[in-house]
Amino acid sequence: MAELKEVDPELVLSLKEKLVAPETDITERYRVLFSLRNVKGDVAREALVESLNNPSALFRHDVCFCLGQRQEPEAIAILAAILKDSNEHPMVRHEAGEALGAIGTPECLPPLMQYADDPVLEVAETCQLALQKMQYLEEHPDANNEESPYYSVDPTPALPASTPVSELKDILLNEEQRMFDRYSALFALRNKGGKEAVNVLTEVFKARSALIKHEVAYVLGQMMDKHGTENLLKVLRDPKEHAMVRHEAAESLGAFANTATEEVLKEFTQDADPIVAHSCVVALDVLEHEKKGIPYFAGVTNEQVMVQ
């Protein structure tokens, strides 16, 4: 279970009002979302669920992510409903499936099994990955106690830190391997860190699967290693790349506070795909906070709630 923090109830109600209010702009809405992500209690969770009415697919996808990170069984029904909705944006359905895998209780199994062969490849791969994770944790219960150094609930456990980079590379780049094994290698490389690990991770951008490419873009943002910047910029600039990959590249670039990155993000706030354009707007807000050394949250102190 994710460690959720106690916060003053009046503050939580205030944040809920901002989160669901139509007039709240996208940058403040995201700051509120990631503030509420780690806040304990029904009100915080209900605020996230209510905000799923937002018209932005990008935002709904991030709400699903936050619900998964909270690991509360109370969110299973709404996440399953999103996964089942063929009219929902594939990126949102994917994130709902990943969130069910993060919660990982037996109640999550039926919807994941039902959509493991979904015609939308990213959705199918996500459900398969979640099922493989749940099976692994059932067979290796001690792995459930392993904590990510980035305080995130990852789609798979990482392979041991002692695994050589060359071995991790062979697993990660082998498209015949199970997605579970490739992800486990991916997170091991993230945890190792350093230029060599980053260089291996960025080779994934040549792969076929948008799912694994989007995860690499995400972890490069977690790592905040400057060696990943050029590859993330290249992904963002590529109009042929899947929107979910470009979106993660944009948001990860928000962690790199430099002029060159800022100029490219500003350029792509006008991208034809609203998912990419809005990701750049959010990324610029994150970048501005990074430049000023201000924590990225809304109305909650670091002592009250950790916001990643």
215 annotated as a binding-site residue: yes
Give CA–CA dist 96/80, Å, rounded: 7
Angle between helices 42-50 and 9-20 (to 10 degrees): 0
Q: Is 230 annotated as a binding residue?
A: no
Q: Read out DSSP for 141-152?
A: GGGGGPPPTTS-
Judge whether 95 is annotated as a binding position: yes
* 89 is annotated as contributing to ligand binding: no
Phi, psi of 6 (to 5 degrees): -75, 130
Q: Please name the residue that has the structure tokens 């359905």.
A: 93
Q: DSSP secondary structure string, 270-283?
A: G-SSHHHHHHHHHH
Q: From 306, 257, 260, select the one nearest 286 (Cα to Cα).
A: 257
CA distances for 261 relative to 1, 142, 154, 293, angstroms: 36, 41, 27, 17
Paired with 39 in beta bridges are 5
Q: How far is CA 271 from CA 102, 267, 274, 286, in A?
A: 31, 8, 7, 19
Q: Tell me the C-alpha distance between 284 and 271, whole Å.
A: 14
Q: How far is CA 305 from CA 4, 6, 33, 56, 299, in A?
A: 8, 8, 12, 26, 10
Q: How many CB atoms lie within 10 A of CB 302?
A: 9
Phi first, then psi: what are they for 39, rounded to 5°?
A: -90, 130
CA distance 275 to 54: 13
Identify the helix (H) or strand (E) that includes residue 67: helix 57-70
Q: What residues form DSSP beta bridges with 5? A: 39
Annotated binding site, which residues?
Answer: 61, 94-95, 214-215, 247-248
Q: Which segments are annotated as binding site for Fe cation?
A: 61, 94-95, 214-215, 247-248
